[in-house]
Amino acid sequence: SQTIHQWPATLVQPVGSPLSLECTVEGTSNPNLYWYRQAAGRGLQLLFYSVGIGQISSEVPQNLSASRPQDRQFILSSKKLLLSDSGFYLCAWSPRLAYEQYFGPGTRLTVT
């Protein structure tokens, strides 16, 4: 069966520091991958999605970036964090020929 992992689970970082969140999927190949952010008590905001290695689509221009160095690995990065980057970050995957998305456990990021 397929599983999706995210780490770290919780992260506290000072303003201006770099960020790297990692997401990996097991048990499938060539998945579509997504990064979402959820502010406290609010809905999901799609940040990036990828349909293949090195193929990244950005939904929201900001100081975040994403990379897909391997088929089942999706990384969310920032060179300098802002206070407004605080939130709950969710990674999701979708089978190539399916329409639903499956989510990871998420990373709670607090920028201080």
Partner 1 sequence: AQTVTQSQPEMSVQEAETVTLSCTYDTSESDYYLFWYKQPPSRQMILVIRQEAYKQQNATENRFSVNFQKAAKSFSLKISDSQLGDAAMYFCAYRSLDMNRDDKIIFGKGTRLHILP
Q: Which residue has the tokens 């999605």?
A: 49
* Strand 19-26 with 3-7, pairing: antiparallel
User: What region does 41 belong to: left with phi over 0, alpha with psi -120 to 50, or beta?
Assistant: left
Give min distance, CB of 42 to partner 1, in A. Answer: 7
Minimum Å distance from CB 79 to partner 1? 26
Contacts with partner 1, residue ranges (CB under 8 A): 32, 38, 42-44, 46, 49, 51, 57, 59, 88, 90, 92, 94, 99-106, 108
Q: How far is the CB of 36 from partner 1 (least distance, A)?
A: 9
- Contact between 23 and 4 under an 8 Å Cβ cutoff? The reply is yes
Looking at the Cβ atoms of 20 and 55, the one nearer to partner 1 is 55
Q: How far is the CB of 98 from partner 1 (least distance, A)?
A: 9
Neighbours of 100 (CB within 10 A): 7
When the beta carbons of 18 and 27 are compared against partner 1, the nearer one is 27
SS3 83: helix
Nearer to partner 1, 3 or 17 (CB): 3
